[in-house]
Structure 1
Amino acid sequence: MKEKYSVLIPDGDSDLLIVVIHCLSQNKGYKLFVVLSEKHKNKEITHSKYINEIFVTEPLNESNEIEWIKNLNTIAEKHHIDIIMPIDVFAIRCLLKNRTYIKDPDKLGLLPPLKSFDKADHKGELSKLLLDIDLPAPETLLFDKNEICEQTPSFGFPVIMKLFEGHIGGGSGIQVFNNSESLNLFFKNNTVVGPYLIQKYIKGYDIDCSVLCKDGDILAFTIQKGTMKGVSDFVPQVGVEFLFEKDVYEVVKKLMKSLNWSGVAHVDMRFDITDKKFKVIEINPRFWGSIDASLIAGVDFTYFYCIASKGIVFEIPKYNHVKYLNLLGLKRTIKQNKWFLFNLKFLLNNTPLKFFIKDPKPFFYILYSKLKKDLQNNH
């Protein structure tokens, strides 16, 4: 069966494009096509030598979904596309909702049922599912929009608050509260315009599981533990270490089976040092920002996604237990220890640098954009 494919990424506006291209570029003979909106037609990754052609269209929104898919049909037919591979949430949901408008549905890569996708993507629905199937998760209270949390959570403090959608007046993002006074003060000074949850803060460490599935069965996976925090506790780690934890795998296996999941997903988890359990925090039902780290560990999720989408059967690939730093983690490490610059083996094998060395134009454009922005800010 053919294993060299022409791949169309319909949502090239996504910030995930650069890491997905890094991975896809490792597959010799693949032809890569990308759809961008006018707003993003000059983004840095468009200068990659690995992109065969870029198509500029109207940005996808709820009012033009059918036209957007018809445009994909035209591109797929004209350029003999083998696989349509959406990489981010909005495009995945659009294609799931409007699957009947896809002229050749066999070209669409592995995707989950729409109901499962929405359940995974919605923090409240996921919380209910975890309770229903008896999987470890933080204790949670769910609230409707404009509803004020007046009771003291029975599970005590500290707690975090997460939005399902929308924004918070006077602030945004995940909020942390150490006592009832700070929680009450927040609601006194802010209006929550969307549904939200309040969840027990788990004392422990981050551990994640990335998967590729078909009909609920795991085809490929990696497990990675955070080793270096980002700018806060609630953003992706800038350093990870790959390992195997049987309990993590069993939790994710049961979760994916319950969703009858197909396609990729990244399950955020946290080890609770109090009760010694790995607890599910959320699911990113899309490709993820550290997919290049999984590649470095030995699992190219883009490759396995393509061949699985075409019905090729393979054994679950093994991965190496290695450490990885993204560019921010590398910058921080070098700042702390300038001699780390001479650890060439690690720099070339355990960071994204090798991808930029092989395809330098996007990296230079990123540096140029940053320098230009810094100069503007200084003036």
Structure 2
Amino acid sequence: MGVLVTSAHSAKSLVVTRSLGRNGIDVTTSDYTKLAPTYYSKYSKDHFVYPHPIENSESFINCILKNVKKNNYEALIPVNSEETYLIAKYKHKFTPYLKVPLHDYDSIMRANDKGELLKIAEDIDIPIPKTYNLNNMSEIKQVAEKLNYPAVIKLKNTKSSIGLSYVHSKEEFISKYVETVSNFHLSASNLPIVQEYIPGDGYGVSALFNCGDPRAIFTHKRLREYPSSGGPSTCRISTEHKEMEKIAVKILKYLNWHGVAMVEFKLDSRTNKPYVIEINPRFWGSVNQAVAAGVDFPYLLYQMAVDGDVKPVFNYKMGVKTRFLINDFRSLSDILKNEPNKIPTLMSFSHFFGKNLYYDTLSFDDPIPGMLFYPFEIKKLWHRLK
């Protein structure tokens, strides 16, 4: 008996694998690459390589299914976006053999669609930035006149900061919007949304739900991110924000959520009002932040899947920091390019050790995969540069 975990090349897959392994669960890891760092975790009892989920989705599903039929797993836990969405779509193929703690495919894709967030906000009255959802390209000039600048262009369905851009004038907006549509080959039904820019700090409210009822809630504040203009967090701290948590629960109850999700917020520095930015209907990049502070989402998800329910966890340790170090160095470089007063940033960054400081990949009791992330990330950077 054990658990099958996907996306072994990612830091969050390593976090999930360590979480389950430390709780005595046998973990098999899997990925589309032969040299994924999580394969080398002492908590990965076995691993295998599957076809690329985007390039060959049918073969990916068939490979996972073949492995599931051959082994006596208790649960299948996908980690990254592509694998999560595909497994949710074909969940009916897997559920005769093991537990798959995911919401239904349509609900997951609705939560992932930033254009749908506008409709959800209208239905249940939650605060989001002023949003424009274009129906066709002829509306660009009309929207350009209405916008308050700076504004943000976002792809409806994407991960991290892919396709995200900031514009500061009508001319820049029109040019960048057309460029985005062209670069990503977007159809009229999938045009980018446009939002007002909200200045302030970013927060995340993470949650585990069981058929519409909350089982765990956790809030963190972003301290640094990469790119520094808006991307995945690289350093964070555990905190609480009752208003944000109430809004996140309201959204996920409305969606009758099942499984894990994270609702992203911006706290407007002008008004101190929180705005919902997006919903991540899967494991999020900063999942180690919650685990380090005492909300062990991967293990809680496993327990809920296998036992049918889990004891709620709503309390955790405040002031715990976590870092994804290699991306935190990238964030530092990004910030220093634009930061006039570099000393406070350097002082904050240079605190590498502390009682309440943890790292996403580096671990004394499981050192090998943490070290492998550095050549792995350098290899990815080299391919991007080429």
Q: Distance in 1 between matches of 2:178 and 2:78?
A: 41
Moved more, 81-90 or 173-182: 173-182
User: Unpaired segments of 5 or more residues in structure 1?
Assistant: 167-171
Return the offset for 1:354.
Answer: 8.3
Q: Which amino acid aligns with 1:91?
A: E
Change (3 A) 1:200 1:18: same
Contact map agreement 1:69 1:102 (CA 8 A) in 2: no
1:47-85: CA deviation from partner (whole Å, max 9, x where unpaired): 2111111122322347553x5444434433433101111
Contact map agreement 2:288 2:322 (CA 8 A) in 1: no
Q: Distance in 2 between matches of 1:373 and 1:120?
A: 29
1:363 to 360, 370, 373: 370
Q: Distance in 2 between matches of 1:354 and 1:272?
A: 31
Partner SS for 2:15: helix
Partner SS for 2:78: coil
The higher radius of gyration belongs to 1
Contact map agreement 2:151 2:196 (CA 8 A) in 1: yes
Q: Distance in 2 between matches of 1:48 and 1:214?
A: 30
Contact map agreement 2:15 2:361 (CA 8 A) in 1: no
Q: Distance in 2 between matches of 1:313 and 1:374?
A: 41
1:59 to 30, 52, 55: 52
Q: Distance in 2 between matches of 1:21 and 1:207?
A: 25
Say if 2:354 is the partner of 1:345: yes
Q: What are the equivalent positions in structure 2 for 1:1-379 lying under 5 Å apart?
A: 6-12=2-8, 14=10, 16-27=12-23, 29-37=24-32, 40-61=33-54, 64-65=57-58, 68-102=60-94, 104=96, 107-144=98-135, 146-147=137-138, 149-151=140-142, 152-165=144-157, 173-186=163-176, 191-192=181-182, 193-194=185-186, 195-310=191-306, 311-326=308-323, 327-328=325-326, 336-337=346-347, 344-346=353-355, 349-352=356-359, 355-368=362-375
Q: Which amino acid aligns with 2:31?
A: L
Q: Distance in 2 between matches of 1:256 and 1:335?
A: 36
Q: Distance in 2 between matches of 1:376 and 1:121?
A: 28
Return the offset for 1:198.
Answer: 0.8
Partner SS for 1:117: helix
Q: Distance in 2 between matches of 1:63 and 1:78?
A: 21
Change (3 A) 1:60 1:374: closer
Q: Which amino acid aligns with 2:318?
A: H
Q: What is the TM-score normalised by the length of structure 2?
A: 0.82
Change (3 A) 1:300 1:165: closer
Return the offset for 1:130.
Answer: 1.5
Q: Distance in 2 between matches of 1:270 and 1:69?
A: 36
Q: Distance in 2 between matches of 1:147 and 1:87?
A: 38
Return the offset for 1:285.
Answer: 1.0
1:143-162: CA deviation from partner (whole Å, max 9, x where unpaired): 24655511235352221111
Count of matched residue pairs: 362
Change (3 A) 1:202 1:335: closer
Partner SS for 1:288: coil
Q: What is the TM-score normalised by the length of structure 1?
A: 0.84
Partner SS for 1:356: coil
Identity across matched positions, percent: 25
Q: Distance in 2 between matches of 1:111 and 1:323?
A: 28
Change (3 A) 1:335 1:358: farther
Change (3 A) 1:24 1:149: same
Return the offset for 1:15.
Answer: 5.4
User: Unpaired segments of 5 or more residues in structure 2?
Assistant: 333-342
Partner SS for 1:156: coil
Change (3 A) 1:52 1:183: same
Return the offset for 1:374.
Answer: 9.7
